[in-house]
Structure 1
Amino acid sequence: MTTTELQVEAADPRRPDSVGYRVTLAADAVDVLAAQQLRYDVFSTECGAITPGPDGLDVDEFDDLCDHLVVRSLDHSDDRRGTAVATYRLLPPHANDSDPRGHGLYSHTEFDLSPLEAILDRTVEAGRSCVADAHRGAAPISLLWGGIARYMQLTGYRYLMGCASISLADGGAAAASFADLVQARHLAPEHLLCRPRTAFDPTGIPRPLRRVVPPLLRGYLRLGAVVCGPPALDSAFGTADFLVLLDLETADQRYLRFFLGDSFLGDSGSNLLRDAR
């Protein structure tokens, strides 16, 4: 875990449904362990993914380099910290000394990141997002996004990038439908397109009557993110993974304000967008 200094507040007073939850940056190994246990419960136990690490934990070589956002439920918990119910890990560029820098990112295992190399010194990689089954309402997702927005603000980096997954349990229908949406409205400029190492091919897959975009991807798109090419197939997790890139200089400021609050998008918020690295 890196030593990024970040104070993430608890419930958002503008969203009453966030009462009873708190989002923080992992402060010690106990917090990271809670995130790894939650990831195992969701990825392996619930979804049947083949995860790295010892039994009961989802652990890989990137965890020690990352900052870990953890949303905790404060209700009915014997732990004074609360129960970990959602998590997202963030790998800042100052924790990645690989050359080329792209080789030090998780996304490199799924995509050729060469087209993005010029901006990776200003890019935070986000990944391993999950929410416990009983807490998949709006509040934990909103708090995760609030934590990410605050993290980007206080660290000063310009770009947020990550692999956002769609389950293939439905035969690939949702992933194929989202790939159509990307091609029509959300594809990155050609110079930012990255080739997947193993492509997910949506050809011939029947599309659902109604497109459903997962909350994480919906948040990216609302902020103005683009998708850097066709999706990769992650056979271990049974997902199609889309490489998403958000530029804070062109992000939707109204939606940023929703996550950061007016007090953070006054002078400090304008500085974030004007002085992004």
Structure 2
Amino acid sequence: MQVVFNPIVSEPYWAGLSNDPAMIDAAQALRWRSFHPGMGEGRDYDDTDHYCAHLMIIDQRTQTLVGYTRVMVLRSDDSLAHSYSAQFYDLAPVMAQPGAALELGRFCLDANCHDPKVVKLIWAALLAISDANGVARMIGCSSFKGSDPLLHTAALTLLANGNVGTEGHRPNPRAPEIYTFAEELIGRPVDELQARRQIPPLLRSYLQMNGWVSDHAVVDHALDTIHVFTNVELAGVQPARLHGLRQLAARGQGAAPAGVALEGA
């Protein structure tokens, strides 16, 4: 798919879209290490990869991939045929809202990279992609490790009591096995400390940008996870946060590191 985006350099890192076969392979290896820990070497891939643009964060000192997410711009119901989220959620209410959606997937970082600049650069790049492609919201699935919803009661209680999207905007159920946590846990006391520990880092980032979640979680026994649909309306993100990310993205375009082919090149 064609996504408009000019690469960003924030030394020592480069952020850009790449269709370079070697980089796609490196990304799928990074995804495997991130989502299948302890299972040796492998590649994480699915059919959705063919329809996405691949955002790479490369450490230019070592020419290694340190951050990744795949993205897809959804503009109408027709574009949902290849959407990952649409396999599990009925997105009709989401797509009925004005503006396009940017679907994020397989967001991951190299386990040996602990520089907070990498995460900030990914969000700056995602905002730049959104601005350049008429995107009004970022969407995706946020996963919890462990397919038993009771393992995540504290986090789901927190979500149920303040972070569920409004009816008419949030997606409807589609998956065969779901847990309607908003119905089950609304009004229950929240263990804030335990909830914060249970919420995955990506979901925490969404919530910090005033994001909301679905009223139900999808149970995925194959991956031993549950996940919730997540939506961030760009118009609802704190202006200071948007300004900082746009400033970072505007600091300059950067050529691709040696040997890396840009998306569409």
After TM superposition, the score normalised by the length of structure 2 is 0.78
Deviation for aligned residue 1:196 = 5.3
Kept in 2: contact 1:89–1:128 (CA 8 A): yes
4+ long deviations beyond 6 Å = 201-204
Do residues 177 (structure 1) and 154 (structure 2) align? Answer: yes
Determine helix, strand or coil for the equivalent of 1:261. helix
Q: 1:209 to 1:234 in 2, by over 3 A?
A: same
Supply the distance in 2 between the matched residues of 1:242 and 1:159 (Cα, whole angstroms): 16
Alignment of 1:8-87 (within 5 A): 8-11=7-10, 19-44=11-36, 46=37, 56-75=42-61, 77=62, 82-87=63-68
How far, CA to CA, are the matches of 1:183 and 1:8 in structure 2?
38
Cα distance in 1, alignment partners of residues 154 and 38 from structure 2 = 21
Aligned length: 241
Q: Report the CA distance shift for 1:117/1:209 in structure 2 as closer, same or farther (over 3 A).
A: closer
Selected match of 1:126 from 98, 104, 115: 104
CA distance in 2, matches of 1:180, 1:196: 22
Q: Residues of 1 paired with 2:51 and 2:98: CA distance? A: 16
Deviations 1:178-201 (A, max 9, x none): 221221111111112332512147
Q: Which residue type is aligned with residue 37 of structure 1?
A: A
Residues 59 and 188 of structure 1: CA distance in aligned 2, closer, same or farther (over 3 Å): same
Cα deviation, residue 244, structure 1: 0.7
Shift of 1:242: 1.3
CA distance 1:165–1:263, change in 2 (3 Å): closer
TM alignment of 1:74-223, pairs within 5 A? 74-75=60-61, 77=62, 82-93=63-74, 99=78, 101-119=79-97, 122-168=100-146, 175-194=152-171, 195=173, 197=175, 198-200=177-179, 209-210=193-194, 211-212=196-197, 213-223=199-209
In the alignment, does 2:224 pair up with 1:247? Answer: no
Structure 1 residues 8, 263: closer, same or farther in 2, change over 3 A?
closer
SS in structure 1 at match of 2:206:
helix
RCO (CA 8 Å, sep 6+): is it higher in 1 or 2? 2
Q: Distance in 2 between matches of 1:253 and 1:24?
A: 24
Over the residues paired in the alignment, what is the CA RMSD in angstroms?
3.1
Provide the TM-score with structure 1 as the length reference. Answer: 0.75
What's the offset of the Cα at 1:251? Answer: 2.2
CA contact (8 A) 2:68 2:108 kept: yes
Pick from 242, 247, 255 the counterpart of residue 261 of structure 1.
247
Give the gaps of 5 or more residues in structure 2: 251-265
Supply the distance in 2 between the matched residues of 1:98 and 1:88 (Cα, whole angstroms): 23
Identity %: 22
Distance 1:230 1:136 in 2: 32
Deviations 1:110-165, CA, capped at 9 Å, x for gaps: 22223223248711111111112112442222221111111111112112110011
Equivalent position amino acid for 2:68 in 1:
T
Q: Distance in 2 between matches of 1:48 and 1:176?
A: 27
Aligned 8 A contact 1:122 1:158 in 2: yes
CA contact (8 A) 2:67 2:110 kept: yes
